[in-house]
Structure 1
Amino acid sequence: MANTIHHRTCNLCEAICGLEIEHDGQQIISIKGDKNDPFSRGHICPKAVALQDIHEDPDRLRQPIKKVDGQWQKISWKEALDEVATKLRATQQAHGNDSVGVYLGNPNVHNTGSMLFSRHLLRALKTRNKFSATSVDQLPHHLIALKLFGHQFQIPVPDIDRCDHFLMIGANPMASNGSIMTVPDVRHRLKAIKEKGGKLVVIDPRRSETAEVANEHVFIRPGTDALLLSAMIQEMYAANLVSKHRLHEATDGLDGLATRFAAFTPEAVADSTGISAADIRRLTHEFCAAENPVIYGRMGVSVQAFGTLSQYLIMLINILRGRLDEPGGLMLTTPAVDTLAITGPGHFDRSRSRVRQLPSFTGEYPVAALAEEILTPGDGQIRALLTIAGNPILSTPNGRQLDKAFGQLDFMVSIDFYLNETTQHADIILPPVSPLEREHYDVIFHMLAVRNSSRYADALFEKDKNARHDWEIFLDLTERLAPAKTPAQWLQNRSRRLMSPKRTLNYLLKRGPYKLSLKALRDTPQGIDLGPLKPQLPQALSHKDKRIHLETEFFLPDLQRLENVLQENRDPADSMLLIGRRHVRSNNSWLHNSRRLVKGKDRCTAQIHPKDAARMGLDNGHPVRITSRVGSIVLPAEITDSMMPGVISVPHGWGHKRDGVELSIAKEHAGVSVNDLTDETSLDALSGNAALNGLPVALSLAS
């Protein structure tokens, strides 16, 4: 029997590259980039092979397991689901609805069933104690979209294919494949900017993989991006570089902005940022002189003490220069599934966390508060926890504290197919099918794409009859936690199952702006190009008055806190500043059990500048101890002039040598967790997002 080609999208990162998977019905023969995908154009990164590794991984759980006297035992789905529902319901009956907490990990947004069906389970739980990876990642983007445009998902992205000057701050798409900017084949797209005479400028404390291909790289001291951006705005006003634009008439809050930034001259911020006043002026004037410039910032900007303010100032520069909703600037997509219509606009600060009074965003509290909500006695204390496709012990601040907290829970259940650093604390694990055993459509990432497109794939392999999809697990638990008491409720439960992700998706496609259908996408398995991004503001704004609300009285008072940074005189000999980093062969903590992705030289190293290494008497490869307020880690030094002096970089997602973990390959390449250093008390004051970058740490030689 001849081999078959299966077309689908890689769902392991935001780039959503098209794949050709050759198989014989039971085994995968090869995974290649789909050259006929109009969006990704044949590009894939090394991560794509991990789809096969995950599917075939002998460590992957394939049926529910329960911890009995410290040992794991396989149990039936009925027994597992019944016990989970009984224990969660009993906890809430004894201690209130909020005694159960929920954590949703990043993989959920890469899963069609999770995106469309998890809400039913969350509603059935009726708890306010919800947390997710959002608050260690992109929360500033959502908050700004909500405040300015009226919807948490109305996030404009760089129109990379038509820009001629790309100013990128704290972003490394050559490693991430794009983030809050779905951009497959990013190398060639960045190269095209330069080939047409444009310019790529990267501002980063590390000369990253993206900086290596840029026209110019500028070092900046971690945590001072808001100072640089404020100085650029001050210079735009001082040099009369603010452009008149059609959207300005539909924007509230533009009056009086110049005076708010008057103190942040290039000279005032130069020492703090490490960028000379002359360079700040040059960067500003070159950006404003370009025909189609865009400024964009990502993780390095978001996860710091001024993350929301920095992202706001980036948006403000684009608005002031007339680069919002213009070709080559920041633009909104028009996805085939109207994601804005199926998700709520969001809300901010409707409630506060119990212990530290941190603000909620769209019903979720900052995950930096999760441990204290478990460890602190009192009404509303979390006593039972549900985690869904997440590993917060490696992914959120002060992982050791969270490790301790999880060990004190009365009951914990995880929907996950790995026994990892987090799920090893569970009493029951409910494993869903592998990514290749489910259909896939990117509900979220088509909405953040740099070109309008749509692509769907049925499951490659049929699931085992005893296996469960994620969405089936959600409904199984929903029906047990909130059993039907009337014929109408029974019919509602029945209709949810009948709809399924496929039927729900078909309905949403037909109601979308292009009136597509599941059949149309199945008939075009390599994807449909829906054209370049188009101007659509102010009509598309979600605010009822169809105006942009700059909300200056919410965002700009944070400038006062920023001014305090100007008074700091930090000596690198006293402490270094910690930043993270990404690698194209990794994605958070997901993929370290893939032998093909972790092979090669050790990637979990502490990158440090030669001057700092010489000051310490540190040789390349020598173990170095890094210490913060919450803990310390030891890992090998990697001495490189790609680092800014005074800055040390440790990658995120490692640290697999913990008791109870059953990831055989990951444990061979364990590394250490940078989140054993990050501080749960270090937050972005505006949003509650975790401040993972710019953390002061002390270095010493380790034997």
Structure 2
Amino acid sequence: MPAPNAAAPIQTHCPYCALQCGMGLRPQPGSVVEVVERPDFPVNRGALCGKGRTAPAVLSSQVRLTGPLVRTHATGRLEPATWEEALARIAEGLAGTRHTYGPDAVGVFGGGGLTNEKAYTLGKFARLVLGTSQIDYNGRFCMSSAAAAHNKAFGLDRGLPFPLEDIPRTGCVVLVGSNLAETMPPALRYLTELKENGGTLIVIDPRRTRTAEQADLHLAPRPGTDLALALGMLHLVIAEGRTDEEFIRERTSGWDEARATAMAHWPEHVERITGVPLPQLREAVRMFCAPEAAMVLTARGPEQQSKGTDTVGAWINLCLATGRAGRPLSGYGCLTGQGNGQGGREHGQKADQLPGYRKLTDPAARAHVAEVWGVEPDTLPGPGRSAYELLDALGSEVKALLLMGSNPVVSAPRAAHIEERLRSLDFLAVADVVLSETAALADVVLPVTQWAEETGTTTSLEGRVLLRRQAVSPPPGVRTDLEVLHALAGRLGWEKGFPTDPEEVFEELRRASAGGPADYSGITYRRIVEENGVFWPCPERPPHPADGGAEVCEDASLDVPEDDPSGDVHAGAGLVSQATGPHPGTPRLFLDRFATDDGRARFTAVGHRPAAEETDAEYPVLLTTGRVVAQYQSGAQTRRVAELNAAAPGPFVELHPRLADRMGVAEGDPVAVVSRRGRAVAPARITGTIRPDTVFMPFHWPGEGRANTLTNPALDPTSRMPEFKVCAVRVEPAKAPDQDGDPDRDQSRNRNRG
């Protein structure tokens, strides 16, 4: 790949959410890094949120790990150690557990922030070196329900089947359970431009968020009823004669069954379930169906439910029934959350998948990847437990855990139970940038490099493969995750197969993904740099070389945007280009056919069912959780940035004035929220922008204000997604909580084994 110009800012990407905003980094004297705008990157066009602007603060040696830590038997504390001591201790712990209990007694837990190269190597390490099936990652908590619904309906899962630039050019956007103004602020411009272009915006959220304030229509359903709402809208589409019968007939299957289940959800019934007035429901249908093109975009709201796959399937049904899929400027998309949540599951971190988004149970997939790895297919273990099930098995079936880039003590549902499971392990090793709440429980903690200190690829919510480029050297004593896995593999008998150079790893990933659903074989570091990212699927060469390396679009009337640099007009199984030469990548999927065997999209017959936990006399209020703009995920990094902490210093409980009056609670008073799993305490934030039957807590903080102490681990039967977004609670006045959330105090505690 070409070397960057030393005189110019180094072009890279933000380390946080799946927008992967472009930014420039200019190293300054004294280990300071300046963030500069990168207006050439089309996604954010130079704009950055506060998290992106302050990201270099975590590079400081004052807030991050700079040397290995090992828990000593003498003191029970984490003490500084050499790399040799730390690696030897991990190798001994993992090998000893495997020898005593078998390979599946060793678990591996990854993160959606790991680069593609790290995610690929971690999956390979688990399956080859450890021989374990017990690997999953926190991306299971992100968009697994949407992924499952994508695969069912379209035969392929990519968060957005179109680039973000298409959003302002459609006629109507239905945004379900997403607060872009807080979670992805630079993306809000696409909704603003949509309205400037004459389009309309419908936001569906139990809270009137900053995003909902931008909407032409805001629907505020009761948490856990998004499925009923989607079915009610489809019922009205059918009853009012708004279906696209030609599209249904020519490009879909399963319509009769889906129509029958939708018709069982008549509008008045849906109004009682959701609390959304019938006139608003009718207006939403009218707005969605009026223009020629429209989109539905979902996020964690409808997806983080025990029926999340069915809920997303119902929104996809609405798109298919109205011809709002597989056409220009129309479709269903999922707004992926984590920085590399998309790529993280495509290349082997997920319990049931091999690189290239191949199924671990597919003999052909196993044979292909085994050949790349130089092993026999039958040596690869089968599928393992999903993320929550893996964490729940710690200390019982799973005795040792290697964890990289995740903080489940704060981020997992039923978090107090998961913390107890982590403490019960025979051995825990954590590789991370900071001493997170989870790392503080470990036997060994390894300090690893972060975004600006290493090179590697990520895959954004658009399916655009990007390159983060190293801008500064890490502090002495810090190594890359690839170096860690290389060293551990060597100590466990694998001297070869685990390179430390990320581009060398990516070259192997290309071969492993070739021919798979997520085919990266035509993508190189050089192409990513030269083209501002490449959309997958991108085979190494066009699929029809006999036709001169191209296939002409069968329908020349397709409205392909004039500013589409790729000239790509096909997708799904026909990943084709209008130009000869290398495959241009696929920014827009499904315009010609869907990625199913017959090219048709599949309707799914789904019916509403209640949340796993309904309110009752003891727990009469619903809790929903989410994010605030100044913090990110478990807060392990953003809580170490002074500017962000000043903007969002701690947890809170958002509740309606009527609920506050009944409790006798004033603004700022400490409030206890109690579920069947535990109790959290935080100051009251009283607002009329939330439903009276609902309270909201952000989930970024540990300690008494930890929202995930309360959340329900009930799992979606298909995606194995926990039900983060709805559980039954009671709310009551409380004493002032201890909210310092200082992870350093935990390192002096013994691990409470056994």
1:317-356 equivalence runs, <5 A: 317-330=318-331, 342-346=355-359
Matched to 1:575, the amino acid is P
Does 2:479 correspond to 1:478? no
Query: Per-residue displacement from partner, 1:650-671 (whole Å, max 9, x unpaired)?
Result: 001211x4xxxxxxxxxxxxx7
Find 1:637's aligned residue among 681, 684, 689: 684
Q: More deviation in 519-528 or 124-133?
A: 519-528
Query: Per-residue displacement from partner, 1:160-183 (whole Å, max 9, x unpaired)?
Result: 132121111111112111xxxxxx
Q: Which residue of 2 aligns with 1:700?
A: 732
Q: Which residue of 2 aligns with 1:144?
A: 149
Query: Per-residue displacement from partner, 1:221-267 (whole Å, max 9, x unpaired)?
Result: 00001111111111122222111355753433123332222220111
Query: Per-residue displacement from partner, 1:250-285 (whole Å, max 9, x unpaired)?
Result: 433123332222220111111220112222122112
Conserved in 1, the CA contact under 8 Å of 2:404 and 2:431?
yes
Distance 1:480 1:202, change over 3 A: same
Q: CA deviation at 1:293?
A: 1.1
Distance in 1 (alpha carbons) for counterparts of 2:533 and 2:136: 36
Matched to 1:374, the amino acid is L
Q: Which residue of 2 aligns with 1:536?
A: 571
1:63-212 equivalence runs, <5 A: 63-68=67-72, 69-108=75-114, 111-123=115-127, 124-153=129-158, 156=161, 159-177=166-184, 185-212=186-213
Matched to 1:344, the amino acid is Y
Q: CA deviation at 1:19?
A: 1.0
Query: Per-residue displacement from partner, 1:42-79 (whole Å, max 9, x unpaired)?
Result: 11110113321111141311222101031222222222
1:222-621 equivalence runs, <5 A: 222-246=223-247, 248-330=249-331, 342-346=355-359, 363-376=383-396, 381-442=397-458, 444-445=459-460, 448-449=461-462, 455-463=466-474, 466-483=477-494, 490=496, 492=497, 500-501=504-505, 517-519=524-526, 521-522=528-529, 530=565, 534-537=569-572, 539=574, 545-548=597-600, 550=602, 552=604, 556=606, 559=607, 562-563=608-609, 575-589=620-634, 590=636, 591-600=638-647, 602-621=649-668
Q: Which residue of 2 aligns with 1:662?
A: none
Matched to 1:631, the amino acid is G
Distance 1:57 1:588, change over 3 A: farther
TM-score (norm 1): 0.83
Distance 1:545 1:516, change over 3 A: closer
Distance in 1 (alpha carbons) for counterparts of 2:333 and 2:705: 39
Conserved in 2, the CA contact under 8 Å of 1:146 and 1:346?
no
Distance in 1 (alpha carbons) for counterparts of 2:721 and 2:510: 35
Q: More deviation in 286-295 or 223-232?
A: 286-295
Q: Which residue of 2 aligns with 1:628?
A: 675
Matched to 1:392, the amino acid is P
Q: CA deviation at 1:385?
A: 1.1
Equivalent position SS for 2:731: strand
Q: Which residue of 2 aligns with 1:660?
A: none
Conserved in 1, the CA contact under 8 Å of 2:183 and 2:629?
yes
Distance 1:141 1:18, change over 3 A: same
| Aligned-pair identity (%) | 24
Conserved in 1, the CA contact under 8 Å of 2:207 and 2:690?
yes
Query: Per-residue displacement from partner, 1:188-240 (whole Å, max 9, x unpaired)?
Result: 21111111111111111001121122222121100001111111111122222
Distance in 1 (alpha carbons) for counterparts of 2:218 and 2:118: 39
Q: Which residue of 1 aligns with 2:709?
A: 676
Distance 1:616 1:255, change over 3 A: same
Q: CA deviation at 1:508?
A: 9.8
Structure 1 unmatched ranges of 5 or more = 178-183, 351-360, 485-489, 658-670
Matched to 2:386, the amino acid is P
Conserved in 1, the CA contact under 8 Å of 2:395 and 2:426?
no
Q: Which residue of 2 aligns with 1:690?
A: 722
Distance 1:473 1:280, change over 3 A: same
Distance 1:524 1:497, change over 3 A: closer
Q: CA deviation at 1:551?
A: 6.8
Distance in 2 (alpha carbons) for counterparts of 1:618 and 1:223: 26
Matched to 1:472, the amino acid is E
Distance in 2 (alpha carbons) for counterparts of 1:518 and 1:314: 36
Matched to 2:681, the amino acid is V
Matched to 1:539, the amino acid is G
Q: CA deviation at 1:185?
A: 3.0
Count of residue correspondences: 644
Conserved in 2, the CA contact under 8 Å of 1:294 and 1:318?
yes
Equivalent position SS for 1:255: helix
Conserved in 2, the CA contact under 8 Å of 1:4 and 1:24?
no
1:648-687 equivalence runs, <5 A: 648-655=695-702, 657=703, 672-680=705-713, 682-687=714-719
Distance 1:247 1:438, change over 3 A: farther
Conserved in 2, the CA contact under 8 Å of 1:31 and 1:49?
yes
Equivalent position SS for 1:374: coil
Q: More deviation in 535-544 or 503-512?
A: 503-512
Equivalent position SS for 1:592: helix
TM-score (norm 2): 0.78
Query: Per-residue displacement from partner, 1:91-112 (whole Å, max 9, x unpaired)?
Result: 111111111122212322xx24
Q: CA deviation at 1:289?
A: 1.5
Conserved in 1, the CA contact under 8 Å of 2:699 and 2:708?
yes
Distance in 2 (alpha carbons) for counterparts of 1:504 and 1:603: 43
Distance in 1 (alpha carbons) for counterparts of 2:520 and 2:416: 47
Q: CA deviation at 1:319?
A: 1.2
Conserved in 2, the CA contact under 8 Å of 1:91 and 1:384?
yes
Q: CA deviation at 1:423?
A: 1.1
Distance in 1 (alpha carbons) for counterparts of 2:630 and 2:666: 26
Q: CA deviation at 1:331?
A: 6.9
CA RMSD of aligned residues (A): 3.5
Conserved in 1, the CA contact under 8 Å of 2:248 and 2:255?
no
Equivalent position SS for 1:599: helix
Q: CA deviation at 1:513?
A: 8.5
Q: CA deviation at 1:539?
A: 3.2
Q: CA deviation at 1:515?
A: 5.6
Distance in 2 (alpha carbons) for counterparts of 1:77 and 1:630: 39
Q: More deviation in 408-417 or 49-58?
A: 49-58
Distance 1:646 1:504, change over 3 A: same
Distance in 1 (alpha carbons) for counterparts of 2:528 and 2:642: 34
Query: Per-residue displacement from partner, 1:338-387 (whole Å, max 9, x unpaired)?
Result: 9799523336999xxxxxxxxxx9935333324541254xxxx1111111
Matched to 2:215, the amino acid is A
